[in-house]
Structure 1
């Protein structure tokens, strides 16, 4: 059960107390709201639209219809375009796809880390190279 103070906060922020809060054990209820309030809805290094799109991508990859609905609505509230919403889901699907490939092929983590470092160095060098447009 969530505390009376937390219920009041939720009603102020969201206009109601969401039903999912009742699914939490009492020791976690207030704490869970603070995570949402301070991290997901609060001011952080990421803009609200970015956080909503990340949340949507993660929700889509996890295949959680509840979180997809919430984060998609949140992204639209933050003026994300249909193209940005689609791209967030597309990126999440790519991450899930390639994660499946990497795990199924049992690619060594150290090997992958070394390859990634080489590729990042290459791209960084390409970006720093003078353009031949002159």
Structure 2
């Protein structure tokens, strides 16, 4: 159970103490809320929109209906369109698919790292050589 201070903070921020916090052991409940509050809802380098899309992508990849529902609602609240939601889910699916391919084929990790560095260099060179929009 969360402390009274955390309970008050939850009620102020969310309008309630959500049921998902109740099963967290007493020793960790306040800390768990602090992580959500500070990282997901707090001001960080990522915008709320970006965080919602990252959350949706992760939720999709781990196939969690609870997280998918929450982060979809969060993304919609941040103005992400149905097309944007579909794109985020598609990217998450691509990552999960290619992770399966790479692991199943046992692609050599060090070789993959080198190839990625070469790809990044090539794309950066192409971008630098592209005509400016000015």
Q: Same fold (TM over 0.5)?
A: yes
In structure 1, distance between residues paired with 2:124 and 2:69: 37
Counting only pairs closer than 5 Å after superposition, residues 90-105 of structure 1 correspond to structure 2 as 90-105=90-105
In structure 2, distance between residues paired with 1:5 and 1:129: 56
4+ aligned runs moved over 6 Å, structure 1: none
In structure 1, distance between residues paired with 2:5 and 2:56: 29
In structure 1, distance between residues paired with 2:48 and 2:130: 36
Partner of 1:81: 81
Partner of 1:67: 67
Partner of 1:25: 25
In structure 2, distance between residues paired with 1:24 and 1:116: 40
Partner of 1:54: 54
In structure 1, distance between residues paired with 2:73 and 2:126: 39
In structure 1, distance between residues paired with 2:130 and 2:75: 38
**Which string of whole-angstrom CA distances, capped at 9 and with x for unpartnered residues, describes residues 83-127 of structure 1?**
111111010000000000000000111010000001111111111
Tell me the CA shift for residue 130 of structure 1. Answer: 4.5
1:118 aligns with 2:118: yes
1:129 aligns with 2:129: yes
Task: Report the aligned-residue RMSD.
Answer: 0.8
* Secondary structure class of the residue paired with 2:46: coil
In structure 2, distance between residues paired with 1:65 and 1:71: 10
Q: TM-score, normalised by structure 1?
A: 0.95
For structure 2, the residue ranges without an aligned partner over 5 or more in a row are: none
